[in-house]
Amino acid sequence: MAFFESDFYIRMRDVDKNNKITNKAILGFFEDIAGLHSDSVGFGLKNIEETQLSWILLHWKMKVIERANYGDTIHIKTWSRYSTKVYSYRDFEMYDSSGKLLAIATSKWALIHVNGGITKIENDMVQKYNPEAKSVFDELEVQKLKQPESYSYSCDYTVLRSDIDVNNHMHNLYYLDVAYEALPVDVYNNCTFNYIEIMYKTGAKLGDTLKCLYSKVGNEHFVTIKSLDEKVLYTIIKLA
């Protein structure tokens, strides 16, 4: 099955004060369908005990075209696109019930062994996903995000138990929550952010204290998340 598709219902937890779907909810639905696709080919969460393998995210790139509303049913399509021995790309499309395209995204993943460390992506695994050549963006690969040269605001956040995922790291979507906390109030209240990129470098663990550094470069907003001493880079998030 090259394209994997499913419907999802937008709940109260998925919308903002205007009853519009949030960026975190969209990425959450994309993450859900990616997991379902992996389940269907034998490399999902329920297969970890057998395979000793798990997927981790390296990069999100998402564009929102139009926002769905509370109570809507959305249709999401995903597919494996391009793989090397060390990383794999997966793309997404979100539609409303009439077939209108609402959002697109691409994502970059690595495969890890449960005992630690990135492991090689074998060709027989790639073939089970039956990859497609279709790309939602013109650029076939995502580019690394660069740290801004200066920052205008910072705040700290300590990783909680509720932030930890199946890989014993802070779950990828929670970095977006932390980034929103680092935004100046006027930016948070007045910007919708229909374009998001998140580059993950190091997985934060329980008890780590994160330093969240905000800067604006042109019309783009950056939150760089580091260790308190700024020696470890966890994540760079670009919002526009």
Residue 108 corresponds to which tokens in the numbers above?
Answer: 């970059």
Predicted pLDDT of residue 160? 97
pTM of the model: 0.96
The pLDDT tens digits for 57-92 are: 999 999 999 999 999 999 999 999 989 999 999 999
User: How confident is the model over 39-58, as a mean pLDDT?
Assistant: 91
Predicted pLDDT of residue 1? 58
Residue entry with tokens 């369908």: 33
How would residue 150 be classed by pLDDT, with cut points 50, 70 and 90? very high
> In terms of DSSP bridges, do strands 195-200 and 4-9 run parallel, antiparallel, or are they unpaired?
unpaired
Predicted pLDDT of residue 149? 92
CA nearest to 66, candidates 100, 16, 107: 100
Higher-confidence position of 82 and 200: 200
Query: Distance of CA 224 to CAs 28, 107, 169, 207, 211, Å?
Result: 21, 19, 18, 19, 8
